[in-house]
């Protein structure tokens, strides 16, 4: 975005982007959208990234070889490591928003079927989906719309 806009966009970083993605998800909940199929698709498409034990066995031997992973932490300070030594990013999410997602997960359970998903995992899946869409290529018009939307949100917060 800095390259395209040719501007120095202070505070436009991963935390900002993740918060915008989360805010958009919350907005869909507030509008009463049925997001069950969307969540199932997210889990099926990108859930293996979150599963730290699936397919982690080294085929040459019985030991598990796994590099240090990454976990979003909603309460940690940026750049810190959690109790397992994993990097953590602090995402500024209000308690009421966290509670709203928990209520939404309960609603999904009553209306459809339980979804085994934590808030940290949801945020990770939203981010992974967005980055994957960008990397796989979007129409130029879609990219411009996304950049315009993000710049508008960035200007609102600054």
Pairwise CA distance, residues 158 & 1, whole Å: 16
- DSSP 8-state code for residue 85: S
User: Whole-number mean pLDDT of the chain?
Assistant: 75
Q: What's the 3-state SS for 126-140?
A: HHHHHHHHHHCCCCH
CA proximity to 94, closest of 10, 11, 154, 22: 22
Helix (H) or strand (E) holding 6: none
Exposure b/e, 21-52, CB count within 10 A at least 16 = b = bbeebbeeeeeeeebeeebbebbeebbeebee
DSSP 8-state secondary structure symbol assigned to residue 77: P
Residue 57 is given by DSSP the state: B
Q: What is the pLDDT of residue 147?
A: 79
Model confidence at 108: pLDDT above 80: yes
Domain encompassing residue 139: 2-157
pLDDT score recorded for residue 87: 63
Split into its structural domains, the chain has a count of 1
> pTM for the full model?
0.71
Taking only the tens place, the pLDDT of each residue in 76-94 is: 445 555 566 666 677 888 8
CB 101 within 8 A of CB 74: no
H or E element at residue 68: none
pLDDT in tens, 21-60: 999 999 999 999 999 999 999 999 988 877 653 344 333 3
């Amino acid at each position: 975005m800095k390259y395209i806009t040719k501007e120095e966009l202070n505070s436009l970083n991963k935390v900002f982007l993740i918060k915008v993605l989360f805010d958009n998800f919350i907005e869909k909940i507030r509008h009463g959208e049925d997001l069950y199929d969307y969540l199932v698709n997210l889990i099926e498409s990108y859930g293996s990234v979150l599963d730290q034990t699936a397919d982690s066995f080294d085929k040459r031997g019985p030991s598990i070889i796994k590099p240090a992973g990454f976990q979003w932490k909603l309460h940690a300070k940026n750049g810190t490591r959690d109790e397992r030594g994993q990097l953590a990013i602090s995402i500024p999410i209000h308690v009421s928003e966290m509670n709203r997602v928990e209520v939404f997960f309960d609603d999904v359970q009553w209306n459809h079927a339980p979804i085994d998903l934590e808030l940290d995992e949801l945020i990770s899946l939203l981010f992974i989906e967005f980055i994957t869409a960008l990397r796989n290529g979007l129409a130029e018009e879609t990219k411009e719309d996304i950049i315009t939307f993000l710049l508008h949100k960035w200007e609102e917060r600054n």
